[in-house]
Amino acid sequence: MTAPLFDLRPGRPSDHAFVVDSWLTSNAKTARARDMLEAGIYWTEHKATVRRLLDEQLLLVAFAPPDEDAILGWACISTPPPGNPDPIVYYVYVRGKGKQSARRCGIARELLSDFLPHACTYTHRPAHGRVPVPETWLYNPERNYR
């Protein structure tokens, strides 16, 4: 029997430094972030928003077994459906580039498995257009601030 490529666990406060850094760095490539970068407020203002979301929402982490600290990806989400009338996907990240790339292994799909078949809101657009977003999802960046 072969070991799985990844497994999931709930996020922990010790994950937050990596999550904040990867969230801000990967999101800085988006058009919406560029406006904040030009205004000189992205790294302080959006960092505060990200930290607040991590404190208030669920963090789900994909890791490379058996090392639970070997983070391959993560998702910051609201309580998954069903039962949540307003499910929200705040951000999804999968480690990319070079030998450590974990992309195209089904990590994001597994992190979002409870959300994919449902209509929901997402608050950050993918930095590159190759990532498909379900047609039933609604983009609403203002949900970051409620």
Task: Dump pLDDT digits (tens) for 22-70.
Answer: 999 989 888 788 888 888 888 999 999 999 999 999 999 999 899 999 9
114 within domain boundaries: yes
For residue 74, the one-letter residue type is: W
**pLDDT value, residue 31:** 77
Sheet holding 71-77, edge to edge: 7-10, 58-63, 71-77, 88-94, 120-122, 137-139
74 within domain boundaries: yes
Whole-angstrom distance, CA of residue 39 vs CA of residue 14: 31
pLDDT at 92 over 70: yes
2 within domain boundaries: no
66 within domain boundaries: yes
Q: What CATH number has the domain bearing residue 59?
A: 3.40.630
**pLDDT value, residue 102:** 59
Query: What is the number of domains present in the chain?
Result: 1
112 within domain boundaries: yes
The model's confidence at residue 120, banded by pLDDT at 50, 70 and 90, is very high
The model's confidence at residue 12, banded by pLDDT at 50, 70 and 90, is very high
Please name the helix (run of DSSP H) or strand (run of DSSP E) that holds residue 47, with its range, or none.
Answer: helix 47-56
Which pTM was predicted? 0.88
Whole-angstrom distance, CA of residue 122 vs CA of residue 91: 8
pLDDT at 143 over 80: yes
Q: Which domain holds residue 130?
A: 7-145
- In this structure, are residues 88 and 78 in contact, taking their beta carbons and an 8 Å threshold? yes
